[in-house]
Chain A
Amino acid sequence: MSQTETETETETVPDVATPTWEYDPAPEARELAHIRSSYGLFIDGEFVDPAGDGSFATIDPSTERHLAEVALAGGEDVDRAVAAARKAFGPWSAASGRDRGRYLFRLARLLAERAREFAVLESIDNGKPIRETRDIDVPTAAAHLFYHAGWADKLDWAGLGPQPRPLGVAGQVIPWNFPLLMLIWKIAPALACGNTVVIKPAETTPLSAMLFAELCQQAELPPGVVNIVTGAGETGAAIVSHGDVDKVAFTGSTAVGKAIQRELAGSGKRLTLELGGKAANVVFDDAPIDQAVEGIVDGIFFNQGHVCCAGSRLLVQENVHDLVVDKLKRRLETLRLGDPLDKNTDIGAINSAEQLERITSLVDIGEAEGGERWSPACELPSSGFWFAPTVFTGVGASSRIAVEEIFGPVLSVLTFRTPEEAVAKANNTPYGLSAGVWTEKGSRMFWMADRLEAGVVWANTFNRLDPTSPFGGYKESGFGREGGRHGLAAYLAAPALEG
């Protein structure tokens, strides 16, 4: 009898001796995203075939599975797109701000309504976790549309002089790290200000842009106001150098940004560039340490580190270096890497073989240069492009991993002794896009923010983006701002300011 009782007890009580709790897969429904076998170009409100018969494949970077064939736009296609944008510019710029705002509100609402579909598609095409596309990329994109919809009829009060005028046709080229969000960052202010656009998504992540084209049709946006042409670098170059483009906005690498600036010199085209970064995340000894550790994780492992404002250089005050690194490592052990569509995934796939190759080679260099490399125990899937979260300690300030933008989940840890040294080290980079400071002391926070040469300085947080807050760089991170009232200036001719 007692024997039986004991057995029953053992069966009914959960195994408490060695508790491990493996979360079962919780995949978001892949079929929410309808992926067509091939995509044309979106010109003048219609999906059209390109003039040539070129196309390229886009794949799922987490499995290397082929997703779709996408039209490769040539010069002739860009001509058509720019012509459509030019034709649409007249009526669009003449429309009342209230009417333009109405279209943007409609796009915002439609995007919010179809948020899950966009989130799934973005995760499949980009490799980033569904948790991020669902909670950050898509809602923030919708927020940008809502925000700029509100500006459309208030431009006279934007502080840019009386009756600011739109510039005309904007040629825009965006990167693969936030395909939808960057698309909206570019399109929303341009349209609110009365411009029309020709935009090229990145060649590895064109699908969410093509779904947005469907949204433009659904919103009955006048044809030609938004034109989306897909392709690689040459297509982008054709947009940038097109004679009838009035304004160029580019987000991407510093090398390409420089080339664009050289090309546009003397052309009279307006230009904004949002380029690379090598942001410092500065942790003082009086920081809220547990939240600073979260901020470090958000700073560099958010979106696999494919973030231009990523906090890739951790500057820790030397007396808490061991403490912070120890806690950081414990935290990284809990990160979940794997299927981007699993709702519990923290780290998704690297976007492309090319990017994986770049990360791998820079990490190898970091090791060769004497940095101490560490990664949590973490099994990488056998197919697809993956890179484990990596932390380098003992990194010299001149080490290439501490200087060059890696654009991957790789953190370099450096130390400092005094606030002056922290500022000097943080600013000692050709870039200047963002920075983070962690301290509970308000006066030190302001002292640091005043001295850091970065477009965004986050106080006790990192990688928080909001449409009301201008975003952009110093030095080789580019110029011009996106978001906020400042972002409007990039799409308006302001007579009072230009004289």
Chain B
Amino acid sequence: MSLVLPGDVTDLTDATASDSALQRFLHGLPGVDQVGAEKRAATLATRSIKRGSKRWALDLAISMVDLTTLEGADTPGRIRSLCAKAVRPDPSDPQVPSAAAVCVYPDLVGTAVEAVGGSGVQVASVATAFPSGRSSLDIKLADTRDAVAAGADEIDMVIDRGAFLTGRYGQVLEEIVAVKEACGDAHLKVILETGELATYDNVRRASWLALAGGGDFVKTSTGKVSPASTLPVTLVMLEAVRDFAQLTGEIRGVKSAGGIRTAKDALRYLVLVNEVAGPEWLRPDRYRFGASSLLNDLLLQRTKQLTGVYADPDRVTID
């Protein structure tokens, strides 16, 4: 087996057996040097993606979008419109792939499920007292079950940052395990809310915790806290997922959410995925963008690549 971690950790069973073992394991992970991580992300951001490789990546990015609306003012009509957009992002061009999913609040899951129909677009629901996570475990589990019962294919949970930051890692892990169980067949994305974790070391520890707890994806942010996703934060999470796959043979995904608005940004994230995790992560079931306005810019850039001219922004719908 190839080596991914210092010391003698060969699997995560022992590492997660007790609170103290978990503490030792997470704090035994190699540190992240802030300057170095940010420099690496900045260097990769200078990659210049042109022509065919750009067209391919724009389509890939479209197919990785979790088209999101998480507003108190959301209406069933708005959800239906969003779903139509996700299924067929550009009605004038059937070559444009569908988005990966729509991401909504639990009470709108039913509407979304109906609207996407059998299109293959997944319905993701935030749950567990999103976005703050400030509720009892019972409420969080009920929230999750509710969304799953309404037909959600994917659940985006938030971790208890208060527990994490005060070092109660066992509690965070137990919650993830319990929510995963409540998910049943639904895929679980674990939102770390990196904007509240303060250090890259914490991002790395929270990533491993989420992976050990059974999260199918680790996700950067709720989108409700600034900063949301950044390139270096995603870099650290991709490293964790890469190392986890090497250690356990299980491939998990990463979702970058919040603040990614332009196709240029999206391509930079995909370069990170390609060069840090590896090309085997360049698939919608292994990497996602959580975004709302990004899809429109991807469509505009796609048209630009095909026709050579920038389309009027009013040619794409504002949802």
Q: List residues of chain A with CB under 8 Å of any chain B CB.
A: 8-9, 11-14, 16, 19-26, 131, 135, 285-292, 294-295, 319-320, 322-323, 326-327, 334, 343-344, 440, 460-461
Counting CB contacts under 8 A, is B40 at the interface? yes
Counting CB contacts under 8 A, is B135 at the interface? no
Interface residues on B, range: 35 or more
* Minimal beta-carbon separation of B204 from chain A (angstroms): 9
Are A24 and B6 in touch, CB under 8 angstroms? no
Do A24 and B30 form a contact, CB below 8 Å, given A135-B46, A290-B239? no
**A14 cross-chain contacts in B, Cβ below 8 A:** 56, 59-60, 63, 97
Are B279 and A25 in touch, CB under 8 angstroms? no
Q: Which of B36-82 contact A (CB under 8 A)?
A: 36-37, 39-40, 43, 46-54, 56-57, 59-60, 63
Do A24 and B94 form a contact, CB below 8 Å, given A288-B31, A288-B36? no
Do A326 and B3 form a contact, CB below 8 Å, given A19-B282, A291-B33? yes
A-B contact pairs, 22 of them (CB 8 A): A9-B120, A11-B95, A12-B96, A19-B60, A20-B279, A21-B53, A21-B282, A22-B53, A24-B51, A24-B53, A131-B43, A288-B30, A288-B31, A288-B36, A290-B36, A322-B3, A323-B4, A323-B5, A326-B2, A327-B3, A343-B46, A461-B39
Tell me the bound Cα distance from A291 to B50 in angstroms: 28
Counting CB contacts under 8 A, is B304 at the interface? no
**A131 cross-chain contacts in B, Cβ below 8 A:** 43, 46
Are A23 and B279 in touch, CB under 8 angstroms? no
Q: Output the nearest chain B residue to A290 by Cβ-Cβ distance.
A: B239
Are A21 and B274 in touch, CB under 8 angstroms? yes
* Minimal beta-carbon separation of A353 from chain B (angstroms): 30
Are B279 and A19 in touch, CB under 8 angstroms? yes
Counting CB contacts under 8 A, is B35 at the interface? yes
* Minimal beta-carbon separation of A294 from chain B (angstroms): 5
Q: Which of A21, A322, A344 contacts B279 (CB 8 A)?
A: A21
Q: Output the nearest chain B residue to A343 by Cβ-Cβ distance.
A: B48
**B50 cross-chain contacts in A, Cβ below 8 A:** 23-26
Q: Output the nearest chain A residue to B30 by Cβ-Cβ distance.
A: A289
The 8 A CB mask of B214-228 against A (1 = contact, 0 = none) is 000000000000000
Counting CB contacts under 8 A, is B275 at the interface? yes
Counting CB contacts under 8 A, is B32 at the interface? yes
Are B95 and A21 in touch, CB under 8 angstroms? no
Tell me the bound Cα distance from A11 to B30 in angstroms: 43
* Minimal beta-carbon separation of A439 from chain B (angstroms): 9
**A288 cross-chain contacts in B, Cβ below 8 A:** 30-33, 36
Tell me the bound Cα distance from A354 to B35 in angstroms: 37
**A289 cross-chain contacts in B, Cβ below 8 A:** 6, 30
* Minimal beta-carbon separation of B273 from chain A (angstroms): 9
Are A294 and B40 in touch, CB under 8 angstroms? yes
**A344 cross-chain contacts in B, Cβ below 8 A:** 47-48
Q: Which of B1-27 contact A (CB under 8 A)?
A: 2-6
Are A285 and B97 in touch, CB under 8 angstroms? no
Are B49 and A26 in touch, CB under 8 angstroms? yes
Are B48 and A323 in touch, CB under 8 angstroms? no
* Minimal beta-carbon separation of A6 from chain B (angstroms): 11
Are B39 and A12 in touch, CB under 8 angstroms? no
Are A461 and B239 in touch, CB under 8 angstroms? no
Q: Which of B6, B36, B43, B63 contacts A320 (CB 8 A)?
A: B6
Are A460 and B35 in touch, CB under 8 angstroms? yes
Do A21 and B31 form a contact, CB below 8 Å, given A12-B95, A16-B284? no
Counting CB contacts under 8 A, is B312 at the interface? no
| Besides A14-B63, A294-B39, 9 other A-B contacts (C-beta < 8 A) | A14-B56, A16-B285, A21-B282, A23-B49, A288-B33, A290-B30, A290-B37, A291-B32, A326-B3
* Minimal beta-carbon separation of A32 from chain B (angstroms): 15
Do A294 and B36 form a contact, CB below 8 Å, given A24-B51, A135-B46? yes
**A19 cross-chain contacts in B, Cβ below 8 A:** 60, 279-280, 282-283
**A323 cross-chain contacts in B, Cβ below 8 A:** 3-6
* Minimal beta-carbon separation of A34 from chain B (angstroms): 23
